[in-house]
Amino acid sequence: MNSLNRVFEYELPTEICFGLKSLQKLPEKVEKYNGSRIFVISDPGVKDAGILEKVTDQLSNIPHEEFWDIEREPDVKTIRKIQDKINDFNADLVIGVGGGSAQDAAKAVAIMATNEGDITEYAGLDKVPNAGLPTICIPTTAGTGSEATIWTVMSDKENNKKFGVGGKLIAPTVALCDPELTVSLPASITASTGVDALTHALESFVNKATQPISEALSRESMRLISKSLRQAVHQGDNIEARYDMLLGSTIAATAFNPTRLGLAHALCMPLGGKFKVPHGTANAILLPQVMKYNLAGNAERYKEIAEIFGENTENLPLHEAAELSVKAIRKLNKDVGIPTGLSEFGVTENDLDYIAEGAIGSDNVDVNPKKPIIEDLKQIVRNSL
């Protein structure tokens, strides 16, 4: 499928440290990047689960300050508030511990510590001129992959918008991934974040910008997630399943950095911004409909996805084999308890124009295997209600 004449590039700006008890490596990483005044960002759930304390215990003799009140889909106002605290504390290294929100906030404030103006001015790719403070991201969910991506996503609630700031300079300096930290995650969040990770691997794998290194990473990510998501959801303390899921999620992030994603992620932005549908849940609900729409755009790849998920494609015509991938994802969603439709979040037929118009301009649309028109996006959302 890949042309021999095609030139592709792959760069991973983040140092990844992965494994059980890898949290104990935190002091070593802080020293490596000359951290002497550390600002730690987290959320209330992570604090209540005792994970924040496990992290700060590792920093015992290094001056540090915490902000643990990050909300879901952090608002730019919160980012500005933390910026002020970081300046007052004179921090020289930022740690984000949590799901996507805490990590994305850490990445955003690290950049804003060394760049002028307001974070909203840097929306888009490669708009940030200066490298930020060193950042260590410690994921406690297996889903966003924020620990290894070049993106930070936040909300601008005043304007009902979500936006991303991206580029090599946004990538965390270190991803410290200890699967033990994901064990206490509730089943419903394990499910939605897990399907988000799968959507990263899958959308990258079928899109127009994919390339051999990303493809290899996507395959391994999907293999791990197909093997272990159900167990991670239904047996939360199964450390092997938690290990596979965090590995699958981090690997998916490294797959999609150079490729972008697809229509599910494009549609997630207006759904998260105005309707507050959690990112992972929105992706999980949309994914089967997006796949159905995309099948003809890259049937070979969808056939391979079906096979990764254990479907028997032997002797089937290509389009029928490809269709089995949709069946496999629907079954996975059902098994892990994903909500059945967007109407559960108050989205109605009357909102289709707003959502489709909010998604059509996304870079994730440009790389999708089929080029949609507004009506296509509306139909995908309509079918996902």
Output 147 or 196, the one with its CB closest to Fe ion: 196
Region of 35-43, 129-137, 194-202, 346-354 interacting with Fe ion (CB under 5 A): 194-202
Do strands 161-166 and 151-156 pair parallel, antiparallel, or not at all (unpaired)? antiparallel
Site string for Fe ion, 35-74 (x = CB under 5 A): ----------------------------------------
Q: Are 191 and 338 in contact (CB under 8 A)?
A: yes
Closest residue to Fe ion, judged by C-beta, is 196
Output 196 or 304, the one with its CB closest to Fe ion: 196
Alpha-carbon distance of 256 to 157, in angstroms, equals 27
Region of 192-200, 221-229, 298-306, 332-340 interacting with Fe ion (CB under 5 A): 192-200
SS3 percent helix, strand, coil of the chain, rounded to 5, is 55, 10, 30
CB of 340 to Fe ion, least distance (A): 20
CB of 12 to Fe ion, least distance (A): 18
CB of 283 to Fe ion, least distance (A): 6
Residues touching Fe ion, count (CB under 5 A): 1
Output 267 or 306, the one with its CB closest to Fe ion: 267
Output 192 or 226, the one with its CB closest to Fe ion: 192
For residue 40, the surrounding DSSP H or E stretch is: strand 38-41
CB of 269 to Fe ion, least distance (A): 10
Cα-Cα-Cα-Cα torsion 48, 32, 13, 93, nearest 10 degrees, comes to: 50
Output 38 or 268, the one with its CB closest to Fe ion: 268
* Spatial CB neighbours of 146, under 8 Å, sequence gap ≥ 6: 96, 99, 100, 103, 104, 107, 137, 139, 152, 172, 253
CB of 2 to Fe ion, least distance (A): 25
Interacting positions 98-127 with Fe ion (CB under 5 A): none
Output 58 or 199, the one with its CB closest to Fe ion: 199
Output 104 or 196, the one with its CB closest to Fe ion: 196
CB of 67 to Fe ion, least distance (A): 24
Site string for Fe ion, 152-191 (x = CB under 5 A): ----------------------------------------
Output 106 or 299, the one with its CB closest to Fe ion: 106
CB of 182 to Fe ion, least distance (A): 17
Tokens 């509306």 belong to residue: 378
DSSP codes of every residue in 245-269: HHHHHHHHHHHHTTT---HHHHHHH
Q: Which of 261, 278, 179 is nearest to 214 (CA)?
A: 261
Over its C-alpha atoms, the chain yields an Rg (Å, rounded) of: 20
How far is the CA of 130 from the CAs of 44, 106, 110, in angstroms?
31, 16, 11
Contact pick of 43, 196, 203, 304 for Fe ion (by CB under 5 A)? 196
Alpha-carbon distance of 288 to 305, in angstroms, equals 12
Interface with Fe ion, residue 215, by CB under 5 A = no
CB of 280 to Fe ion, least distance (A): 7
Output 22 or 281, the one with its CB closest to Fe ion: 281
Tokens matching residue 271: 């759904």
Tokens matching residue 345: 């979040």
Region of 147-155, 196-204, 288-296, 365-373 interacting with Fe ion (CB under 5 A): 196-204
Cα-Cα-Cα-Cα torsion 117, 120, 126, 129, nearest 10 degrees, comes to: 10
CB of 265 to Fe ion, least distance (A): 6
Long-range contacts of 30-35 (CB under 8 A, 24+ apart): 30/59, 30/62, 30/93, 30/136, 33/93, 33/134, 33/136, 33/173, 33/174, 34/92, 34/93, 34/134, 35/62, 35/92, 35/93, 35/134
Output 66 or 196, the one with its CB closest to Fe ion: 196
CB of 267 to Fe ion, least distance (A): 11
- Contact positions vs Fe ion (CB under 5 A): 196
